[in-house]
Amino acid sequence: MAAMSTDVGMPPVLTPDEAERAVLLAAPRGYCAGVDRAVVTVEQALDLYGAPVYVRKQIVHNKHVVSDLEARGAVFVEEIEEVPTGATVVFSAHGVSPEVHREAAERDLKTIDATCPLVTKVHHEAKRFANDDYDILLIGHAGHEEVEGTAGEAPEHIQLVEGPADVEHIVVRDPAKVAWLSQTTLSVDETLETVAAIRERFPQLLDPPSDDICYATQNRQLAVKEIAGRSDLVIVVGSGNSSNSVRLVEVALEAGAGAAYRVDDASEIDDAWLDGVRTVSVTSGASVPEALVQGVLTLLAERGYPDAEAVHSAEESLIFALPKELRRDLKAAQQA
Ligand code: 2E7
Ligand code: F3S
């Protein structure tokens, strides 16, 4: 705790060590447009249809978001077969394969698709390349829901490439007809390396029509890079299964942070991390509610750190409309 002066009107008396401390707060951080839309979708669905509303997979990869929605009546399931026939199910922001749509139709489910529009864009690119009979190299992490959904659009054309080490093992039908796509939440720099390695093997490699790594991922990496070099410690708020949050830790370390850790919330901060630390930077993944970041700043203040200084490296103003199925039902309810 900072030592407080007892003289009314006097500034707090800081120890020499405390006077040299700083907290830098990355901006942008936290919720992106796709997460905001997905979380509001579940909230509005609960208000409109009443609980329970089923959600296939975590709506976004944040354990606090999921438990808050559970407390309001959302029921998270892993697979469509767990949803009762005829019930309402929301598809998560990470997207689903056509097979999941088929399974939902077979069970006569009412579906609301909260797939981020920037993921839907990658699905369209996959379908287009597949229709043109390209072999598609999808750069991404095995097992991630987004990769499963995108690969499911054209499984016979798509193969996963996790990084440069995979490139020598790629087998394609025609080296002149190869295209690449990526998961939206990868490290920008690592992906450039992977693409360079692929292009070395397949010089006629076709690029996606526009960036697949989304604006939010890029901006959060840029923001943490901007402050990492000045930071003895970077704290990234985000869950362990959140790809974009985990990438922020890696990017911070690459960009020169003394240390970088991911926490779900302030309670996971180990006081030993703060030993000898003057400058602490804080950021958060795209699925992280701002209240969790504020909790970290409160803890730092309790440990004698000053108010945070925001460091802005990009402005964001993107907003996505709610899924059309939900908008239609909301409108009908208003008119009734
Ligand atoms: C959807 C997509 O939920 P997240 O933590 O997901 P990642 O993909 O980073 O594990 O973050 C928001 C989000 C990011 N990408 C949601 Cl496709
Ligand atoms: Fe969409 Fe990117 Fe967010 S893909 S859900 S805008 S992290």
More confident site: 218 or 7:
218
* pLDDT at residue 18 in the model: 78
Q: Is the pLDDT of residue 1 over 50?
A: no
Distance of CA 1 from the midpoint of ligand 1 (Å): 36
pLDDT mean over 254-266:
99
Atom 5 of ligand 2: nearest residue by CA position:
34
Across the strands, what pairs with 54? 75, 89
Spatial neighbors of 272 by CB under 8 A, at least 6 apart, are: none
d(CA 248, CA 253): 9
Q: Is the pLDDT of residue 150 over 90?
A: yes
Q: For a pocket test of ligand 2, which of 217, 219, 242 has the largest count of ligand atoms closer than 8 A to its C-beta?
A: 217
Judge whether 214 and 193 are in contact, CB under 8 Å.
no
Distance of CA 27 from the midpoint of ligand 1 (Å): 18
Assess whether the C-beta atom of 93 lies below 6 angstroms from ligand 2: yes
Spatial neighbors of 285 by CB under 8 A, at least 6 apart, are: 30, 62, 220, 236, 237, 238, 239, 242, 244, 245, 248
* pLDDT at residue 33 in the model: 99
* 8 phi/psi in degrees, rounded to 5: -60, 135
d(CA 146, CA 152): 10
> Which ligand 2 atom is nearest residue 244's CA?
7
Q: How many residues does the chain have?
A: 336
For the chain, percent of residues with pLDDT exceeding 90 = 94
Assess whether the C-beta atom of 150 lies below 6 angstroms from ligand 2: no
> Which ligand 1 atom is nearest residue 247's CA?
9
* pLDDT at residue 8 in the model: 54
The 3-state DSSP class for residue 64 equals: helix
Spatial neighbors of 70 by CB under 8 A, at least 6 apart, are: 76
Q: Is the pLDDT of residue 14 over 80?
A: no
Distance of CA 17 from the midpoint of ligand 1 (Å): 39
* pLDDT at residue 6 in the model: 41
Atom 2 of ligand 1: nearest residue by CA position:
94
3-state SS of 142-172 is CCCHHHHHHHCCCCCCEEEECCHHHHHHCCC
At 73-98, the pLDDT tens digits run 999 999 999 999 999 999 999 999 99
Across the strands, what pairs with 310? 25
pLDDT mean over 149-168:
98
3-state SS of 228-244 is HCCCCEEEEECCCCCHH
Spatial neighbors of 10 by CB under 8 A, at least 6 apart, are: none
* 21 phi/psi in degrees, rounded to 5: -85, 155
Instruction: Tell me which ligand sits closest to the C-alpha of residue 284.
Output: 1
Q: Is the pLDDT of residue 7 over 60?
A: no
* Residues taking part in catalysis: 146
Across the strands, what pairs with 159? 137
Assess whether the C-beta atom of 216 lies below 6 angstroms from ligand 2: yes
Q: Which residue has the tokens 């401390």?
A: 21
The 3-state DSSP class for residue 61 equals: coil
At 99-146, the pLDDT tens digits run 999 999 999 999 999 999 999 999 999 999 999 999 999 999 999 999
Helix residue ranges, H only, the chain: 16-19, 33-49, 63-71, 98-106, 117-131, 145-151, 188-201, 215-228, 243-254, 290-302, 324-335
Coarse DSSP helix, strand, coil percentages of the chain, rounded to the nearest 5 percent: 40, 15, 40
Q: Which of 110, 208, 220 lies closest to 158 in space, CA to CA?
A: 208
Atom 6 of ligand 2: nearest residue by CA position:
34
Atom 5 of ligand 1: nearest residue by CA position:
242
The 3-state DSSP class for residue 263 equals: strand
Q: Which of 136, 196, 133 lies closest to 160 in space, CA to CA?
A: 136
Q: Is the pLDDT of residue 16 over 60?
A: no
Q: Is the pLDDT of residue 195 over 50?
A: yes
At 275-330, the pLDDT tens digits run 999 999 999 999 999 999 999 999 999 999 999 999 999 999 999 999 999 999 99
Q: Ligand 1 — pocket residues by CB below 6 A?
A: 34-35, 60-61, 93-94, 116, 119, 146, 184-185, 242-245, 285-287
* pLDDT at residue 11 in the model: 65
Band (12; pLDDT cuts 50, 70, 90): low
More confident site: 327 or 6:
327
- Walk across the sheet containing 260-263 and list its strands: 260-263, 233-237, 279-284, 22-27, 308-312
Distance of CA 160 from the midpoint of ligand 1 (Å): 18
Assess whether the C-beta atom of 242 lies below 6 angstroms from ligand 2: no
Distance of CA 15 from the midpoint of ligand 2 (Å): 43
More confident site: 14 or 199:
199
Across the strands, what pairs with 113? 91
Q: Is the pLDDT of residue 9 over 70?
A: no
